[in-house]
A and B are shown apart, each in its own frame.
Chain A
Amino acid sequence: MTTTFDPYASSRETTEGTVYSVTGGDWDELVSEIGEAKEERIIVNMGPQHPSTHGVLRLVLELEGETITEVRPGIGYLHTGIEKNMEYRSWTQGTTFATRMDYLSPVFNETAYCLAIEKLLGITEDVPERASVIRVLMMELNRISSHMVALGTGALELGAMGPMFFAFREREMVLDAFEAITGLRMNMAYVRPGGVQQDLPAGMTTRLRELVKTLRKNFKDNEKLLIGNTIWMKRTVGIGYLDLAGCTTLGITGPVLRSTGLPWDLRKMSPYCGYENYEFDVITADTCDVYGRFLIRMAELEQSLRIIEQALDKLDALNGAPVMVADKKIAWPAQLALGADGLGNSLDHIREIMGSSMESLIHHFKLVTEGFRVPAGQVYAAVESPRGELAAHVVSDGGTRPYRVHFREPSFNNLQSTSAMSEGGMIADIIGAVASIDPVMGGVDR
């Protein structure tokens, strides 16, 4: 940086002419300073701290009047090195990192990562059915809570405040259920390699049935508010257009792809966790616009409720079945039963390993300090997250820690389409376009 550059100066000379920086202040003062200059081109930095950019997304907009001529998204403000950190932790500990990427869909992050590890270990078939059903249940609950944020914040950004209140009311109920099941509302690291961390608490299926009933009733509030609403349709119909060819070129998946009419959903196309055993519909629209994506998310809520109901029936039938693979070498690091004081291992377990079995003690120590080994190789495991194809590319060198973990984040990929959706449109419409992509910056930047 040169010493003459003053970042807070109101104007500076560049090769392209005088550049005025506006960061607050008096608009009239600026206008008089610009004087008679004919240049209409304005570059606006929208974000990174802008309420409608879903966190810390920076959009560099080039404007001619109110028309956008160029959009350049700037990302990386939330980069936390999750993939690098995972190389320094055991395979099981990796779930606590993965869950924090896309903070609106933690269960999907964990499941993609764990499915990859299970594929590497060759134990995909050994994961108990009850564990898979719980995973499906959690994923669909999570899809609801994630779509609620997409709908609520999306509507708020376009100026409708009511839907936000309803959406977050529903989301809170789902997060309460998460808290009852896992102990945490978000970032719960509940799905572990080989199964899930613990079984559902007693009476949970009854409580969830009540929740499904309440949610089904409550979803109608937002439907009544938004579907067919004239103002809402004026802000969303025909906005953020991206057709099938555009989606294919840009690698777009999820609701944005389904809004072009293609029923592409990994739960149907390449089922995992037993999704082939559930009855549900893949929702599509044929409008390729923001309104179509909004309708898809609204309708997917009902499909998620259908899957949850079927999962609850299955869980009742599988009561008492294991939720973790039988292989203790894999299961143990994930099953640290707490003692009565809430710390450490259960006393019964300590009594056994300290008192009666030296081998158990050694194995326990090894497995807890090091974790299990995973045979060398690489796999790619994908799940249908609320935003599209979320996949983990996991490489093992045969050790107790991942050699390389890379997440193919749908938010990261889909955000590329901002330019294609918005260039040539009005500045107000980029808000709707970005909201319809539903990017979560924690996932984009990882």
Chain B
Amino acid sequence: MSETQQGMFGARGTGDTSGYGGLVATAAATGSTERPFGGYFDQVADDLERAYPDFADAITRVVVDRGELTLHIKKDRLVEVARILRDKLLFEMCMGVSGVHYPERTGSELVAVYPLLSMTKNQRIRLEVATSDSDRHIPSVVDVWGGNNWHERETFDMFGIIFDGHPGLTRILMPDDWDGHPQRKDYPLGGIAVEYKGATTPAPSERRSYQ
């Protein structure tokens, strides 16, 4: 996919069309949040530290932002942590996985985000696992939360993240023979020629003189 072509939609760069913006986008905080985290988050962190001796080694960052707790986990420890969260901390539901592609974060371009729910305790936390674009593998958690089966297929389909150990990682929304992974930032909106029964219709971006 070409990186310069953006199709018909969306300004390049900042989206500031008039030059009057002046405001600089604030980057998301990159450090860990210091204790106390507030609410039940301290309890969750304490419980996890007690139940999982390798906590400090496996969990790289603990972030509390806008009232939500995110645990950043090394990818090779994900399944271990997931199992303990499910069995010991009673996060019996995983609400799926969402991918995010940050092309500018060298070495951790692809991120998988898992929202967890404990119905027993009515608590929610989030796991985040990053991997580099050159090594797109993240272990699958389908053995722990079976309902993540389709969600992981969708994230594979959209971002090209390969979930190792998934029982049948195939495309789910796009056609089986599709090229590329549409939700990645280097994949254009539009810009794809339409093929239907032998007839080819040029991509929307090719049909207009303005781009």
Contacts and interface: CB of A to CB of B under 8 A. Distances in A.
Nearest to B92: A248
Interface residues of B, number: 51
A376 B70 CA distance: 15
B145 interface: yes
Contact of B115 (A248, A270, A380, A399): A380
A380 B66 CA distance: 10
B68 A251 contact: no
A126 to B, nearest CB: 14
B150 A79 contact: no
B27 interface: yes
B66 A377 contact: yes
Interface in A368-390: 369-370, 373, 375-380, 382, 389
A88 B189 contact: yes
Interface stretch (A101-109, A159-167, A402-410): A402-410
Contacts of B189: 81, 84-85, 87-88
A446 B96 CA distance: 15
A51 interface: no
B126 A262 contact: no
Given A362-B20, A391-B95, A370 B149 contact: no
A270 B150 contact: no
A408 B27 CA distance: 25
A84 B10 contact: no
29 contacts: A75-B172, A76-B175, A83-B183, A85-B189, A248-B93, A249-B146, A249-B147, A251-B95, A251-B96, A252-B147, A264-B119, A362-B20, A365-B18, A369-B17, A378-B28, A378-B100, A378-B113, A379-B68, A380-B124, A391-B115, A393-B115, A395-B100, A399-B25, A400-B15, A403-B100, A404-B99, A412-B150, A412-B151, A413-B150
Given A250-B146, A377-B66, 8 more contacts: A87-B10, A87-B189, A88-B189, A365-B18, A370-B16, A378-B70, A380-B124, A393-B113
Ordered nearest first, which 10 A-B pairs have the shortest CB separation?
A: A251-B147, A398-B25, A406-B98, A88-B10, A250-B147, A76-B173, A376-B28, A79-B173, A88-B9, A249-B146
Interface of A: 75-76, 79, 81, 83-85, 87-89, 119-120, 122, 248-252, 262, 264, 269-270, 362, 365-366, 369-370, 373, 375-380, 382, 389, 391, 393, 395, 397-401, 403-404, 406, 408, 412-413, 415-416, 445-446
Interface of B: 9-10, 14-18, 20-21, 23, 25-28, 65-68, 70, 92-96, 98-101, 113, 115, 119, 122, 124, 126, 145-151, 154, 158, 171-175, 182-183, 189
